Amino acid sequence: MSEAIPRSAGAVALTVVLVLCAGCSGDEKPPRKPSSSPSSRASAPSPPRSSASSSSSPSAPSTTATAPEDTARATAQLTENWETLFSPDRSVKEKVAAVEDGQTQALMIEAFAHDEGAERLRSRVEGTSYDSATEAEFTYTLMRGGEVVKSSEEGSAVRQDGTWKVSLETMCALTEFGNDVPRSAECD
């Protein structure tokens, strides 16, 4: 019987340890240390949002846990580059810089910039949302001669080389609004 006592004492001790460890289910995480790396800031949970917007600005960005840290700055840059495509005061070089892979798509962008139908287009960004720290969706209104051509259209943007640019996919879609804008082979 003397052997049984140590075994049962060991079993009791093991049971106590298991019961105590059961409270450590892994749901509690140790406090996070503040980090200055962009990826850790981008993955921090965002505060809950209500479905009703209290902002009077139609282009107030919606954010996700993976949105850029500074969505206001990202939205301003995205909007500026979008408007660059439609501004008669901006150079072709600036328009090329505003589009994803613009250097390789320069001929299409230049044709869009000089096309009689496309050069009369104007547009404004209505709202933005971020799918990740490098991808965004936005809605826009497209006008020609003061008349709405398309309303609440969806476009996309990407962060390339540290800059928010109009996606190639969206640039390709814009070519249909010109009179004779050849599409890049990468559009298909």
Query: Does 97 reside within a domain?
Result: yes
126: domain CATH number is 3.10.450
Residues 6 or more apart whose Cβ sits within 8 Å of residue 43: 65, 66
Q: What distance in Å separates the CA atoms of residue 47 and residue 41, rounded to the nearest whole number?
A: 13
Query: What pLDDT, in 10s, does the model give residues 97-149?
Result: 999 999 999 999 999 999 999 999 999 999 999 999 999 999 999 999 899 99
Query: Does 166 reside within a domain?
Result: yes
Q: And the tokens for 118?
A: 């496309």
Query: What pLDDT, in 10s, does the model give residues 68-99?
Result: 889 999 999 999 999 999 999 999 999 999 99
Instruction: Give how far the C-alpha of residue 67 lies from the chain's centroid of Cα atoms, to the nearest Å.
Output: 6
Q: And the tokens for 65?
A: 């846990």
Determine the length of the chain.
188
Domain range for 176 is 58-187
Query: Does 18 reside within a domain?
Result: no
Query: What pLDDT, in 10s, does the model give residues 5-53?
Result: 555 444 434 343 333 334 444 444 333 333 333 333 233 333 333 333 3
Give CA torsion, residues 127, 130, 131, 136, to 10 deg.
70
Query: Does 65 reside within a domain?
Result: yes
Query: Does 95 reside within a domain?
Result: yes
Task: Please state the three-class secondary structure of 84-114 as a single string.
Answer: HHHCCCCCHHHHHHCECCHHHHHHHHHHHHH
Mean pLDDT on 171-182:
94
Query: Does 32 reside within a domain?
Result: no
What domain count does the chain have? 1
**Amino acid 61: pLDDT:** 54
Query: Does 36 reside within a domain?
Result: no
CA nearest to 141, candidates 76, 61, 83: 83
Q: And the tokens for 102?
A: 């613009």
Query: Does 31 reside within a domain?
Result: no
CA nearest to 62, candidates 171, 142, 139: 139
